[in-house]
Structure 1
Amino acid sequence: MIRLYVAADLAQDVALTLDHGQSHYLTSVMRRGVGDEVLVFNGRDGEWRAQIEVAGKRGVILRPRALERPQVFGPDLDLVVALVKRGRVETIVEKAAELGARRVRLVITERTNAERTRIDRLAAIAAEAAEQTGRLDAPEIFEPVKLARLIEAWEAPRRLLFCDEAGDARPVLQALAGAEPAPWSILIGPEGGFSPSERETLRNLNYATPASLGPRILRADTAAISALTLWQAAQGDWRGLEVS
């Protein structure tokens, strides 16, 4: 069954008009027509089975018929990652969606080697990954901010898993062992690593838990995937716990 992430509210028998891209995908790529069914979700109203009511040159209109799954959310987990080159940041966003991150926050550090990115494209990549994985929401993608600004605006009780490449922190699973349930963020640095002053600042945060991703130096995308995987195994929904 095709799944589509939409922005509109969803309710039984309330017509839903798809945008041009989704209309083209359904009719021209997937060859669906009037009477066919798809699943739609928006991250708020659960997942609905909808029927194609109109499929024409002006677009596709769906009619939600039945609620298939009520809305649920994964763990309250943010991925905070230094802005890197386009291909790698796109991979990071895709895999963050697949691995259950609720938000992706981009930061600019002293050694960041990229200056800009297209948030609209990253949001589309996150939505496509959400459609494929079966999750009922899509990660929110935030505009890049400086690391210092992110720290200044930090809100308790969110914890921070600081992936420290210096090599003297405990392994992730050891660092997370026994941690109390809480909202978490995972911080991944740029390809050149954090500067000494940034590392000192992060180490002194009372809500930060430094952790090592092993003896090898990882690229940002590999580090993000590894950290998300380990956090889900230690604290997240890979343990089979229900979340809301």
Structure 2
Amino acid sequence: MSIPRLYHDAALAEGTLVEAAPGQAHHLGTVLRRGPGDTVRLFNPRDGEWSATIDSIRKDRARFAVGGQVRPAAAEPDCRLLVAALKRDAMDWVAEKATELGATLIQPVLTQRSVADRANAARLAAIARGAAEQCERLGAPAVAEALPLHRVLAAWDATPLVVAMERTVAEPPRAAALRPGAPIALLVGPEGGFTAAELDDLRRRPFVVPAALGPRILRAETAAVAGLAALQALVGDWA
């Protein structure tokens, strides 16, 4: 029987007692059928991963007794995903898969052809935490509130931003002058693609790296996963 991993923001140290985060007691007791004395793992990017046991549990509350450290904290490479706001199911899926692929930030953006005009950041963050528990990450990506694309670009730093431009002439990501181990970022547009004005604006930005993701037109959620995987394989923590 596998040991449940639970993301927990509390300070983790041997010998301490910590209260379960909202929803964790229900998941452990009702879904996983765990009870007092059963082992869990608690983790966060600040303290690393720790062995713990369920000290007490009831319907909506649980408390953990923290044991020894299993894995020390370690910095994660900066890997950001900017994606045009999608419909709920597609956006949920992107949050889960981006977490598995090592994204440290998920920034929904609003474009002229976005199919949604908002994104539930709290819901997406919860999905990301659940995905981090499953894929054995120590951290989960930050999920920002949806912002207009031009506002995100105006506040951008010097990190190269690879922009998926399937409908334009662009080189594949491997042709870009990206430095292995450096921060990486990917921007994926909406299902209908960027407008001509948005493309012109993007090309004027000195940090933008246009890239093509193969010979086929991809759905936005597919492009997000394919693009992140390509960048991680070429210059990220897969390289």
With normalisation by structure 1, the TM-score equals 0.93
| Counterpart residue number, 2:226 | 226
Query: What is the match of residue 166 of structure 1?
Result: 167
User: Does the aligned pair in 2 maintain the 1:6–1:41 contact within 8 Å?
Assistant: yes
Please report the RMSD computed on the Cα atoms of aligned residues, expressed in angstroms: 1.4
Unmatched segments (≥5 aa) in structure 2: none
CA 1:19–1:180: 2 relative to 1, 3 Å: closer
Residue 54 of structure 2 corresponds to which residue in structure 1? Answer: 52
| Counterpart in the other structure of 1:31 | 33
How many pairs are equivalent? 237
- Residue aligning to 1:205: 205
1:179 offset after TM fit, Å? 3.1
In the alignment, what sits opposite 2:75? Answer: 73
Measure the CA separation in 1 of the matches of 2:153 and 2:14: 43
Matched residue type, 1:237 = D
1:73 positional shift: 3.2
Instruction: Give a deviation string over 1:162-188, Cα, whole Å, max 9, x none.
Output: 111223100122225x63642121000
- Name the residue aligned to 1:242: none
Q: Give the gaps of 5 or more residues in structure 1.
A: 240-244
Counterparts of 1:81 and 1:196, CA distance in 2: 18
Residue 205 (structure 1) shift: 1.4
Change (3 A) 1:145 1:51: same
Identity over aligned pairs, percent: 44
Residue-by-residue CA offset, 1:183-240 (whole Å, 9 max, x unaligned): 121000001101111111111211111110011111110000100110010011112x
Q: For residue 179 of structure 1, what is the aligned residue in structure 2?
A: 179
How far apart are 1:14 and its partner, in Å? 1.5
| TM-score (structure 2 length as normaliser) | 0.95
Compared CA separation, residues 186 and 58, structure 1 to 2 (3 A): closer
Query: Aligned equivalents of 1:69 and 1:180: distance in 2?
Result: 25
Distance 1:98 1:58 in 2: 28
Distance 1:37 1:172, change over 3 A: same
Matched, 1:127 2:119: no
Q: Distance in 2 between matches of 1:45 and 1:69?
A: 9
Asked if residue 190 in structure 1 is aligned to residue 190 in structure 2, the reply is yes
Task: Give, as a single letter, the amino acid of the residue that structure 2 aligns with 1:70.
Answer: P
Residues 15-164 of structure 1 aligned to structure 2 (within 5 Å): 15-57=17-59, 59-156=61-158, 158-164=159-165
Partner letter of residue 70 of structure 2?
Answer: E
Query: Structure 2 vs 1, CA of residues 180 and 23 (structure 1 numbering), >3 Å: closer, same or farther?
Result: closer
SS at match of 2:157: coil
Residue pair 1:73, 1:137 contacting (<8 A) in 2 also: no
Aligned-pair CA distance for 1:58: 5.5
The amino acid of 1:19's aligned partner reads A
